[in-house]
Structure 1
Amino acid sequence: MSDVTATPAATPAPQPRTAKPGRRALARFTSNRLAVFGLIVLVLFLIFCFLGPLFYQTDQVHTNLSEASLRPGERGHLLGTDDVGYDVLGRLMIAGQTSIIIGLAAGVLATLIGSFWGAIAGYVGGWVDSVMMRIVDAGIAIPATFLLLIISTIARPSVPLMILVIGLVSWLVPARLVRAESISLKSREYVLAIRAMGGTHSRAITRHIIPNSVGTIIVNATFQVADAILLVAYISFLGMGVQKPATDWGAMLTSGISYTYGGAWWLILPAGFCIVLVVVAFNCIGDGLRDYFDVKGRLK
């Protein structure tokens, strides 16, 4: 008899590990070079505006006419001074704080108002939806800059007032976007189930409609912040922004535009450069977040 040797069972080949959905989404965001560029630019501007004044301290309250209109590099002023002696680099930091704070706060306020308005309109539907969206259509037909100019002539412009006003005129676009998402989501199984179990409409909206629209909401919020920063620059350029000694980048453009014919380029180029870079950064981040929350991309 010949010995029969048992052959060991073949070990199954190791299965390749699939990346988690969160890691795949993060990889899509980081693979977008413009999004990474925008994030880096935004972080650098936050450091420049909010930590810069701690290391580069200047007097942005009291005027000093003896050092007015100095060119960059003169008497230790890296970017020169303006017509009343304010250090331009230090003023650029303080102005950036105002512009970014107003932009972020107004963008968040507009997104919150628009999200709830659109979610309610799309979920309830019927005549409620028709009335609510006609209000949105009427608001979109009125230019936001026009409303801001009227309000600025009635009340003294301040940071809280500008946040409130810009937020109240900028919620219309997110309302339309979230309404479209809400109409699509209200027919999903989990929403129908909560309604069948006796759940309230407010619970369905706050627990299901808005959370499942978070991708659209966050992406739009970045664009709302960029638009708010531009609106602040528009209003301030027209002389209706925050009053001195407070300032923002748009106000710096207004103060320096009349001196550019004399060659004082440092009074407008730095502020204009900051506005363009920050707005582009937020738009790039928004594009990257769109890839991050893209449902179709998660299946790849």
Structure 2
Amino acid sequence: MKHQQSSEYLDLQQYQLHLRKLTPLHVSQAPVLMLHGAIENGRIFYSQNGKGLGCYLADQGFTVYCADFAGRGLSKPSVGPDFNHSQHQLICQDIPALIQHLYQRYQQKIHLICHSWGGVVLAASLARFPDLLDKVQNNVFFGTKRRISVKSAAKTLQIDLLWNKVSPWLCKRYGYLPAKSWRFGADNEPAQFLLDTVHWINSPHFVDPTDQFDYAKAAAQLQWPPSWFFAAVNDKILGHPDDVRLFMAESNFSDARFSLLGKVQGDALDYDHISMLTHPQAVQGHFQTLSDWLKQQN
């Protein structure tokens, strides 16, 4: 590895957000903030032995921060019956605090990289607080969708049954979503956050269920910074290319780049929702291409 790893915490009074800092050993580029998706944590971007997109970018000279959302990963306290957290809190408090924290530290614009649902809440936060855009160099989204429009037997099982019905029932029983122990997620989820995602997945409107703020309307007024969306050929449900494009359209990312990762496009393999960030072959493909693009943005 050409970087060092350490942990630090952002204190938001009611809870602390864990940040895994990946510090390059040599030339440092602008800071990168990485935001994970649902039923996962910041480990989707890094590992202790140097694998993952976060580690790759750190080895290329970027100072990388992989955030754990409230209650997830190493954030304190952990998700449980006594600790709940909503999507509204993440959008209105946590993401602005993370961006402000890094901007104040480095006094330069930040690269933002998201996976899956992390991109939805990021776009919502930036649309709601457009002053934050002055602190953002660019946005990168991997497999980000808000709605799931595709129809298949797998979608019926995984989304219509497991996510929309079984998961809310588990939240009622346990006080949170025990996705780890039930083996359908890398991390547990707060009950309210789960219910918020269920609402948005099934709603045609990009409107906050807490206070009815219209994110699509707000986004229509924005001039987004340079943005790049990645979708994967084998991402059949959680980030289907059609649904990624649907999110781009409703969020006014009309000038954003879009890349489909798969063999037909010249990639080493047909990536899926997870492997696009974890497969070793990505280092010789889109990881390198993305790193070069980020450096050009600097």
TM more than 0.5: no
**Which has a greater percent of helix?**
1
Q: Identify which of structures 1 and 2 has the higher relative contact order when contacts are C-alpha pairs closer than 8 Å and 6+ apart.
A: 1
| Normalised TM-score (structure 2) | 0.23
| Normalised TM-score (structure 1) | 0.23
**Which has a greater percent of strand?**
2
